[in-house]
Structure formats: C-alpha cells, structure tokens
Structure 1
Amino acid sequence: MNIKIELFENDRAIEVYVHGEIDAYTAPELREILFPLSKKDEVQMVVDLTDVDYMDSTGLGVFVGIFKNIRAKSGELRLVGLSNRLKRLFEITGLADIMDINSPIEGEVE
C-alpha cells in the first residue's frame, strides 16, 4: 500500500495531489505533511483525491483534524476529485454536510 503526495504551496494557497490509498499505513505520512500546513493563518487548501483508490476511517480522521485546524485559523479546506465511493464515505459519516467535498476542480464542468 503506497501513497504519493504532491504539494504546491504559494503563500496561503496550498494545492495537494494525493495518489494511492489512504489507510492506517499511509495516513500518518499524509498527516505529517498536511498538519503543519493546516495550522497557518487563513490557509486555502485544496486536496485533489482523483487518484485515491481507497480510504478508510484513518484517512477520514486525518481530514477531520486538518479541517478543524484550518477552520480554527479562518481558512478553507476543499476536497476535490472524489470518486463516488469516497463521496459516499463522507456522506455516510455526515462529513459531507460540514466539509466542502463537492466543489469542482477549476475549469471542470459539473
């Protein structure tokens, strides 16, 4: 189980591209990279999950923590490119109601 994380940072705008699976084995790497960034003031973080094949509750926990950090510092978190399976995971847990998971990637038509 592998994960690849690409990060592009410009002042408060952060783009993250995640490839692979987010589970108990790979979530700590994701957390290690994104948590410090999520504590910046007014950060605008977009996480593209187009190439994520699988995510378990450990991955959800990472995103909840990141979301809380960002909100506490008046920032925004957008999760984009979710497969139907990932969207369903966020809907079942109720996270879809509080997190921005449905915004299209810029230039993408809904």
Structure 2
Amino acid sequence: MRTNIIRHESMMVSYDVVNGWTVLETDGEVDAYTAPMIREAVIKLLDEGHRHFVLDLGFVTFLDSMGLGVIVAMTKRIREHEGSLRIASVSGRILKLFDLSGMRESYETHPSTSEATHSAPSPGGLAHWPHPTSG
C-alpha cells in the first residue's frame, strides 16, 4: 500500500515496500526548496528500519544541483545503515544531468521500478559506492 510522506505544492513523495525494497516515488520538482524534505523523509524511513531503497524519478519534472546533492546525501545515510539504493525510471533529461555531474557511473539505474525490485536486496549494497564494482 502506497503511503504519502511529503505533500507540497510543487512535489509529492510516497513510498511502498516491494520485495524488500522501499520504493520512493517522487512526483514534481526536486530543487533547493524541496530536496531537504526528501532527505528528511529518508532519514525518518531509516529510523523506522527501512534499509534498501529504490528512488523512482519517473514523475520528476525538474531536478537541479540541490536535487543531485540530496541523492548523494541520501546515499551516504543509506550506506551508513548498510543499505542499498537503486535509481529507477530516469528520463533522458535527468540521465543527462547524471552524466554531466559524473554521477551516472556511481548508481545502479533501472528503466522501471519493477525491474529495480525484481531481485531482493542484499546487505551492504553500497559497500563500493561511489565506485561501482565491475561485473
């Protein structure tokens, strides 16, 4: 069951748990104003015991450097809790931001949340972050 955790005039974040993954669906703008709300929501979820996250960016209409920064901050927090993070449903426009910032190589991206959650998470999924293992 999807649960809303942030409702703001320019953004909404909800989550659901699928196959051991906490899927965060972000809808709207991720910018200097809304990005800290997402970080706080992840901290709250970590405090509640969630460890393995899929960040669904399929409905993100705008993402700036603060948005990218909050993804890095989330990743650090999740890593401290021996969790994992996958990015799903990334549009070509946002994927280009990941490329330009040098972040694309550091994250496991999937075309959809169903593909991102297909396999169950394993502990320490971010052990090698920010440098992925070659596989």
* Pairwise TM-score range, normalised by the shorter structure: 0.7 to 0.9
Partner of 2:11: 3
Q: How does 1:45-84 map to 2 (within 5 A)?
A: 45-84=53-92
What code does the residue aligned with 1:92 have?
L
Structure 2 distance, partners of 1:50, 1:43, is 21
Deviations 1:4-57 (A, max 9, x none): 0112247x6311111001001211221221123346778110111100011001
Match runs of 1:14-29 below 5 Å = 14-29=22-37
Q: Which has the larger radius of gyration?
A: 2
SS at match of 1:24: coil
| 2:52 is equivalent to residue 44 of structure 1 | yes
Distance 1:101 1:40, change over 3 A: farther
What 5-or-longer segments of structure 1 have no aligned partner? none
Measured against aligned partners, the alpha-carbon deviations of 1:52-77 in whole angstroms (never above 9, x if no partner) come to 01100111111101111112222110
Give the residue type in structure 1 aligned to 2:105.
Answer: D
- Count of residues paired in the alignment: 107
Instruction: State the Cα RMSD in Å.
Output: 2.4
Letter paired with 2:63: M
- TM-score for both structures, normalised by structure 2: 0.68
